[in-house]
Each structure stands twice: as structure tokens, then as C-alpha cells.
Amino acid sequence: MNEPIRLQKYLAQCGVASRRKSESLITAGRVSVDGLVVRDMGVKIIPERQQVLFDGKKIAQQEPKVYILLNKPRGYVTTLADPLGRPVVTDLLKNSNLRLFPVGRLDLDTEGALLLTNDGELAQKIQHPSHEVTKTYEATVSGYPSPKKLSALEKGISLEGKMTSPASLRIIKRYSSSSRVQIIIHEGRKRQVRKMFAAIGHPVINLKRLAYGSLSLGNLGEGDYRHLTSRDLLKIFKNIPLQKRK
């Protein structure tokens, strides 16, 4: 059931002004409810059923900002809906009535760290190239990339007519017919890591994003998520230096 709330409290929740200042705005006749100017401090409203205007403009409650780090499994798409009926990442969130959206994307077969939020300003900041937020991946690739090929990726290669920015790569482990490579980039082109390795003749077999900046998955299980704190968000922009290949 929708609960009534004092008008001045509602104005404060909408970010119009503090509750005390909102009282002054009401007595000044600058607030109307359902088309009628209100000056009485005792008025209560039901926000879901009534329209409140401040200086003739509709106001609404601000949703609390939410930031989630999800360990995305394979087989999920990073959209809010899929015309093909495939599962979407928000299906993994439990008891969330907020409209959250993914920051950037991971393709269907890529797993790992994915941020979800309702804060468009922060999402834009993370994705804009000028902020150079690093993303750390672990890629299992076919064969054994030579030092020369890895160096080429570090310096930048031409993909679809545009050079990639400098990256950091190092071999983590070699298997019988493949290699596990850490790669750190700060760009976000579509399927970029896969295209980079394909360009040097070592296609990606498996790909996982481990971190945004220095905010890592840690021990977060596949399909699990956690809410981020302000300290966590700072880690995104404290970019770790690009490591030299070993």
C-alpha cells in the first residue's frame, strides 16, 4: 500500500531543497499538488497517485544510486532485453526493483566482472576514453604467441582501420596447445580483446574480465554479485600501471 508522506519531506527526497528550505518554498506558493497551490505545512501526499509541481515543473523522487559488481557467467547477454529470448544479466539479480543497466558489455561467451548501476553519470565516466579506466582480462588463446607478437599488441595494432591504444600483456601459463595470457587495456571496442588476438593468429578460446581499474572480482563466485561501497568505486579510477610483459 502506498503510504502518505508530508509534502516538505517529499520535496527534500526529490532533491529540490532541504526539508526546512522546502517549507519556505511551500509557504511562498511555489509548490502545487494536482494543479492546486499548497501553502499548508500539514499537507500529506501519496507520490504514486498525485502530481507535484515546483515552479511549474514536475518533480519525482530520486532513486537511490546502486552499484553492483557481478561475476557474469557465459551464456548471458549484457542487454536489458533480448529479442532471441536468451537470458540477460539482470536475471541474476534478486529482489531488485530498480532499473539497473550494465556498464559496457561482455559478449555472450565472455565471463567475469560486469558493473551494473542506475547512475548514468558514473557509467559515462567509466566508459569515456579520456578517463582511461583499465580493464584486466585473462584470455586462453590457441598456440603460443611469440614475444614479437605480444609486443605488437602492447604498442598497438590496426583494427578495422583504427589503431588500438597501448596495452599490457604477460604470459601466465602455457598448456599443451594453448596459452593463458593477462591483458590490460583501457579501451572498450566491441569484442576488442578477441579481435586483437585473432589479428596475430592466436584466436581466443576462453575470455574472462577480472577487474575494472583495481576493483577485482576477488572470490566472487560465478553468477554471484555484491553491492559496491564508495571505497570500491574509488578503486575503479585508481588505475594500476600497465605492467611490462615478462
Catalytic positions are 107
- Mind spelling out the 3-state secondary structure of the chain? CCCCEEHHHHHHHCCCCCHHHHHHHHHCCCEEECCEECCCCCCEECCCCCCEEECCEECCCCCCCCEEEEEECCCCECCCCCCCCCCEHHHHCCCCCCCCEECCCCCCCEEEEEEEECCHHHHHHHHCHHHCCCEEEEEEEECCCCHHHHHHHHHCCEECCEECCCCEEEEEEECCCEEEEEEEECCCCCCHHHHHHHHCCCCEEEEEEEEECCEECCCCCCCCEEECCHHHHHHHHCCCCCCCCC
